[in-house]
Structure 1
């Protein structure tokens, strides 16, 4: 199980003090919390005998990717060819594009250029996809994606061997199987249930591959919510992403505390009346994700009873229930996004506050790298 901080944030916040000269809104990162999150997941993976291949789509940052490698990660997971181009161009040498691609001549040419710089592991989840990939990039190393309950991509685990055999027959190197337990984003027992289904799916997939004389060297899974319940008797690696920053979803799922949230949006109260305030932080900063089970458009770490009841492009409406502190016009507040990955992809830079309260700016290098 991944342990989390018991420290409680307070309204007298060093992030707001250190960044008081900056115009709002912006995304701020507490470097101390960030580094603690990286170290905690790395320690968990090492203690569990798991390789850690974090998903860089969360941070899209060369600086952060290097910190993850320096802390023990064996490589990075990316979402797109464009993200792989960004990281490979700066010397990242072990990348996994964790989604099945349908290659065109142009995409294949881009991947060849990346493969000249880095080891790139690809994904297949159909016979047709494997044959298309092999026709354009023969000899590529792949994992077969199986569906463990999220019902997005991936074949049923029993068919992993069929897809793997087709991939081998077409000239690809099949190294094992992977899944994404995205249904871990569900309150209650979601994370634990998803981890159990992940383990069963990858076990069945491994047996299916072996039945076709394919040895699954890699069995890969893991989301941030389910990582702490990973079955290391089946899985060989995990690919969590959100853990570097955490967000309001992780807090409401109970897999992180608000003290573990390293990234927040900083905004200014522009309107205040009764028990309600409006701040200059909207969906173009926070992102628009708001699953049905979550309690609003984000959470205020320093005001735990407050709720964001409306989110427009440039403003958030915050309700403060009776008895909680009500900020005045001109006051600054911090908001933890519901889904940090989408928030980061909206920013050019992250404002980072170090242990000595010195403020630096880190570029979001792979922002918009969606192809």
Structure 2
């Protein structure tokens, strides 16, 4: 990645664009503010404010690096979770092969910060985006981009848009996770037809197969493994048919954040093929983890001897109304908290510098700018208290905060993570 581009993030001026930051920091650069090492609770930050735990973030990065290495997997974490180039850099420093993305805009962000390997887990048929890809590939011989295809029609559109490109675009055939799943060719026969179309398209080069096991209908361990075995079998069949003759290695890729243990198990059994195999895992939510969706579904719950991810986000809101004995309102709502899967979880209450469990406090609803809190008899909650909320689904947490403080356990803010959505 480009150290120069990353360094420019520290030169950005703090102002009204960034929620929760101290008003008296306006005009400072992000780097100058970080150097002050202000305290999240006493340094002028305003509520609501989202913070990443410095220690838990580092723990999660190290854990997945170790996991991928232990299981012989290359790792391209899904960057759409954070869209944060600083985190891309840290993931690459922790052994990531590259970064997975989903749409052309995200590729442009990653390229602006010098990411050299991108796995685009989506099909792109927009001629303008494809021409931009071709220009990037022509301008930088070290840049590698791999993209999905799942239909003959898509191959035709992509080849037409890329005709005359200096380098072919590497593509992988996407096998759907079953009837009723999201994208992908539904059958192996359809995949073979797509592979044949790629072979006839000068602007494309077939380099592997891919899919997303998180879309398996009524997913359970055996159904997920059955699908992954189909994916491996597809790679074997296409290799026997000579469809990877132009490739330098064969990519076999899968891996959301709920079933990467199944991916590791099945990919361990990939037989020897005609070329080296890049076993590419794409799990991305691990970087911050969460207190809801993935905390329940993480494979580490099924294989605890592998370790455990730690939720790294906490959203701090302040109690602004206590209208009756069983109700309170805090000043964080849908604009601030992930809520597409589960509501936030009240975890701790902070008053006069002391922190205690949020016993008897439950988030029951979110308005645009308020969290509705139900309080039991044991809840000691007053107007002015800070409430620390755990969040569900990191994929819709980062997108609400363009600049996120990274705080150590004592509240010292040591860095700021810039996001681009």
d(CA) in 1 for partners of 2:118, 2:97: 9
TM-score normalized by the length of structure 2:
0.74
d(CA) in 1 for partners of 2:360, 2:91: 34
- Of the three residues 191, 197, 205, the one matched with 1:173 is 205
Assess if the C-alpha contact under 8 Å between 1:269 and 1:277 holds in 2: yes
d(CA) in 2 for partners of 1:346, 1:93: 27
d(CA) in 2 for partners of 1:66, 1:217: 25
The structure having more radius of gyration, on CA atoms, is 2
d(CA) in 1 for partners of 2:415, 2:382: 28
Aligned to 1:44: 67
Assess if the C-alpha contact under 8 Å between 1:195 and 1:227 holds in 2: no
| Residue 263 (structure 2) pairs with residue 263 (structure 1) | no
Task: Kindly state the Cα deviation for residue 156 of structure 1 after the two structures are TM-superposed.
Answer: 2.0
Distance 1:19 1:109, change over 3 A: farther
- Of the three residues 182, 193, 196, the one matched with 1:162 is 193
| Residue 341 (structure 2) pairs with residue 277 (structure 1) | no
Assess if the C-alpha contact under 8 Å between 1:55 and 1:239 holds in 2: yes
Task: Kindly state the Cα deviation for residue 253 of structure 1 after the two structures are TM-superposed.
Answer: 3.0
- Of the three residues 369, 386, 393, the one matched with 1:314 is 369
Greater shift, 222-231 or 63-72, is seen at 222-231
Give a deviation string over 1:124-175, Cα, whole Å, max 9, x none.
Answer: 1111111211222252101111112471101124132221121121122111
Greater shift, 113-122 or 164-173, is seen at 113-122
Assess if the C-alpha contact under 8 Å between 2:402 and 2:418 holds in 1: yes
Aligned to 2:33: none
Aligned to 1:226: 259
Distance 1:326 1:206, change over 3 A: farther
Give ranges in structure 1 of 5+ residues lacking alignment.
1-15, 291-295
CA RMSD of aligned residues (A): 2.7
Give a deviation string over 1:327-350, Cα, whole Å, max 9, x none.
Answer: 321111222222221221121111
Assess if the C-alpha contact under 8 Å between 2:216 and 2:227 holds in 1: no
Assess if the C-alpha contact under 8 Å between 1:145 and 1:178 holds in 2: yes
Task: Kindly state the Cα deviation for residue 223 of structure 1 after the two structures are TM-superposed.
Answer: 0.8
Number of residue pairs matched by the alignment: 342
| Residue 283 (structure 2) pairs with residue 240 (structure 1) | yes
Instruction: Give the match's secondary structure for 1:88.
Output: helix
Instruction: Give the match's secondary structure for 2:346.
Output: coil
